[in-house]
A and B are shown apart, each in its own frame.
Chain A
Amino acid sequence: MEKQAIIKQHLEFSREDCYHCGEACPSMEVVLGDKCFCCEGCKTVYEILHAHDLCTYYELAEQPGVQLTLPSSLEKYSYLDHPEIQDQLADFVSEQEVRLRLHIPQIHCASCIWLLENLYKLRPGINFSRVQFLRKELSVSYEPSLIQLKELVGLLASIGYEPAINLGTHSSTPRHNKELLYRLGLAGFCAGNIMLLSFPEYLGLTAFEEGEFSQFFPRLNLLFGLPVLLYSAYPFFRSAFQGLQHKKLNIDVPIVLGILALFGRSAYEIMSQTGAGYMDSLAGLVFLLLVGRWFQQRTYDSISFDRDYKSFFPLGANILKKGEVESVPFHTLKKGQTLVIPHEGIIAGDGILLSDAAHIDYSFVNGEAAPVKVEKGEKVFAGGKQLGTSIQVLLRKEPSQSYLTQLWNHESFKENSAVSIGELANHYGQYFTLAIIAISLLAGILWLWIDPAKAAHVFTSVLIVACPCALALASPIILGNAMRIMSMSGMYVKDTGVIEALTKLDHIIFDKTGTITYAHLQHISWEGEPLTTKNISLIYSLVHHSTHPVSTSIKSYLEGQPTEIFQVESFQAEKGRGLSANIQHSHVRIGKANFVNVNQLYKPSQTHAFVSIDHEVIGCFILGNTYRKGLKKMIGELENYSLALISGDHQGERTNLRTLFGEGVPLLFQQSPEDKRAFIQHLQQQGHHVMMIGDGLNDAGALKVSQVGMAISDNNLHFSPACDIILEGKTFSQLPDWLQFAKTSISLVKAAFIISIGYNIIGLSIAVQGHLSPLIAAILMPISSLSIVGFGLLTTTLSSPKKGAE
């Protein structure tokens, strides 16, 4: 243990942040002038930008860069050469110009915008580029004779902004709801003008009452009211009608009744010259209701929640045809073709490995953390990621027939979410509507006895005043604001209904790999005698020659320390056992216990790589899963929920997980995607409300059937399966706070309901007595709505966990 501390300390001394991306520099080796970089990738980006006079990039924001994960080669993008794929991607194609939009998830700050909009300085042929920040989209126009699409994408990747190009992203681009803005603008325009024209009425200017204007102003108001009724209020009519078709009284039914009563009564009064009408209230009401809708409808364009397997695969693949590599669109792949899969490429379909050996990462497909080694002639499956150098695979099935796609096409994925999410407002709206109709009829009938002339007046007054504007605004404003607060911390909720579902949960089910552990970060530590500089160099020189995942882990672990690469003699790699070689007159062996000759007891849960130098064991590297930060504390805070862990991986980590989760929590291992789904459905049959938290394709079924499916994402670029909530990995440990916040929000909505019902009682008591005048309506209705909006915004912001922590 002490030795580790020494090594760490050594690292700490030389640590400085990378000039490009702000990551800590493990070694001081990558230096240019007085600037230090964490890796060659970042240095290259800096050099590119420096050479093109683009260093303003570093002045706009501190260390704005994105760390390059892998040196990308153009080979990876060769499928973009295919004209069919180009047509699919581009918005406009001609010989002189191609325009297209690329989704770039890495866009995150002002510097990104600046650099991406100055692309034309980097390469001739790029005419123009513009960033759409909220959608994280780059619109580019380029000259195809000067730069190819492949080169453009390669250029973006080389400066750290690799576009996400796959089948899913381009089939549908989310369009902003402009319609709602038009309706909102029109309602606002009319409301303002009507109020202005109603001023004489408000102020009781008698000169106008008798004069020629007494008819002119109200009739102008009626004219302004028409477009509000016919165009702006249309969504409410549609929604109420749809509700009635399904025999449901939703909140829009009393709203529509109120709107119709307002308009009908006003039109009658104005035409019969008996009054000034309520057009100001009508326009104001519709305007405020639309503001509520707009608040609720602000969506996250850059995130899509309903993705299927198609978005996981790239648009095209490389095949071998008559000895030459050729790119073809994904959907034209046929059985019997030979796929060429580059480093980090995704296997498009089930097949047989033609190359000698390969390491394939199936963590996304089945949850196994460690890469699988596949020998020549063995089967490989679609969805795996290839880790070594380029391999060849003979396709045995077309992509649409692969195990992965079959899994996805299982009927459970087609079912809609088992539980319909009842919206609070609609739930209460039902009783509300019935009550309003009853009260208005009752009051109308009563007045028939008292004063038949006033009966119709009272009947419509009740409908007008009872129009549940405040009630209808409460839930969109409060839950919409809660959604926005959550998104600022990296929790993206699909819609407001999900917040409601969050409050009813009693079970939370976790996946292991990628969910409670970091997806691709293997924890590695050294146990044994302290590593001398010479030993470090010896080990480094040996693992340097191997591409085995354990070797690469050890290599990256040692990378920060002063190493020399020595000449290696008689290098031997024994399959599944270890490496050995003679280096600097020493015999170095790294591998399994029996390979290095140790009889030490060790935990089978972890991978050990023992090291011996000249047949003397000096220690071992231990590789294991890294759990997310704050996991233990978080599990402690979730004591009110029943927890369970359900993993596709082997049970190597069982003892660790047992101590983390405590006794009595079911820990299930080696579960197929089908098992996971069945487990959740079983819980649901017992009447439980279940949240599934997962990340991979193997969780997709479980995410879909659970009441709330939450996908964890460490990198926006990564695909995440269809779900209700996307949670950024860094926010994971705050989950209990957010669950609590969801509950608070729902209580706030209920509180707002009570306030709005209070307003309604006041209004109704006036209306039932027959005292409602346009002036009272013009004051009461906006006050009730605006106070609810103010209440909602203030309370949700104050009760957010962020505020509480400060």
Chain B
Amino acid sequence: MSALYVLIGFSLLIALGFFLSFIWAVKSGQYEDDYSPSVRMLFEDESLADVPTSKANQKPLDL
């Protein structure tokens, strides 16, 4: 039965992982605008081909 202690420990760790990811999501502002991401993901990346030329002097936008 003492295996239960270990299992409960693991399950709590996983739950804690989800909780921390929720905190991260709130912190990074994902709950502030729930409309534009739903549209943004549908935009065509038609500019991929000319990215190197037109964005050459730019910093990377995201991560």
| Residues of chain A whose beta carbon lies under 8 Å from any beta carbon of chain B | 56, 60, 110, 113-114, 117-118, 120-121, 127-128, 131-135, 176, 178, 181-182, 185-186, 189, 192-193, 196-197, 211-213, 216, 220
- Given A110-B39, A113-B36, A132-B33, the answer on whether A56 and B58 have CB atoms closer than 8 Å is no
Binary A-proximity of B20-44 (CB < 8 A = 1, otherwise 0): 0011001101011111100110111
9 additional contacts (CB under 8 A) given A121-B47, A133-B33: A117-B40, A117-B43, A133-B36, A135-B33, A178-B26, A182-B23, A189-B15, A189-B19, A189-B22
- Given A189-B15, A193-B12, the answer on whether A176 and B32 have CB atoms closer than 8 Å is yes
Tell me the interface secondary structure of chain B in the complex.
Answer: helix
Evaluate contact between A181 and B31: CB separation under 8 angstroms. yes
Question: Whose C-beta in chain A lies nearest to the C-beta of B54?
Answer: A121
Report B-chain residues with C-beta under 8 Å of the C-beta of A211. 1
Evaluate contact between A113 and B1: CB separation under 8 angstroms. no
Evaluate contact between A185 and B36: CB separation under 8 angstroms. no
* Complexed CA–CA distance, A433 and B31 (Å): 36
Evaluate contact between A134 and B32: CB separation under 8 angstroms. yes
Report B-chain residues with C-beta under 8 Å of the C-beta of A110. 39, 42
Evaluate contact between B31 and A176: CB separation under 8 angstroms. yes
Task: State which size class the interface on B falls in.
Answer: 20 to 34
| Residues of chain B whose beta carbon lies under 8 Å from any beta carbon of chain A | 1, 4-5, 8, 11-12, 15, 18-19, 22-23, 26-27, 29, 31-36, 39-40, 42-44, 46-47, 54-55, 58-59, 61
* Complexed CA–CA distance, A798 and B12 (Å): 42
Evaluate contact between B22 and A185: CB separation under 8 angstroms. yes
* Complexed CA–CA distance, A465 and B59 (Å): 59
Residue of B11, B15, B29, B36 with most chain A CB atoms under a 10 A cut-off: B36
Contact of A114 among B22, B43, B58 (CB under 8 A): B43
- Given A113-B40, A132-B36, A133-B33, the answer on whether A182 and B26 have CB atoms closer than 8 Å is yes
Evaluate contact between A134 and B35: CB separation under 8 angstroms. yes
Evaluate contact between B59 and A127: CB separation under 8 angstroms. yes
Evaluate contact between B58 and A127: CB separation under 8 angstroms. yes
* Complexed CA–CA distance, A110 and B44 (Å): 13
Evaluate contact between A132 and B4: CB separation under 8 angstroms. no
* Complexed CA–CA distance, A117 and B44 (Å): 13
- Given A181-B31, A182-B23, the answer on whether A120 and B15 have CB atoms closer than 8 Å is no
Report A-chain residues with C-beta under 8 Å of the C-beta of B1. 211-213
Report B-chain residues with C-beta under 8 Å of the C-beta of A213. 1, 4
- Given A56-B46, A127-B58, A193-B12, the answer on whether A181 and B26 have CB atoms closer than 8 Å is yes
Contact of A132 among B18, B32, B39, B46 (CB under 8 A): B32
**Nearest Cβ distance between residue B36 and chain A, in whole angstroms?**
4
Q: List 5 A-B contacts (CB under 8 A).
A: A117-B40, A127-B58, A135-B32, A211-B1, A220-B8
Contact of A128 among B29, B32, B33, B61 (CB under 8 A): B61
Question: Whose C-beta in chain A lies nearest to the C-beta of B37?
Answer: A133
Evaluate contact between A134 and B27: CB separation under 8 angstroms. no
**Nearest Cβ distance between residue A122 and chain B, in whole angstroms?**
11
Contact of B23 among A135, A185, A216 (CB under 8 A): A185
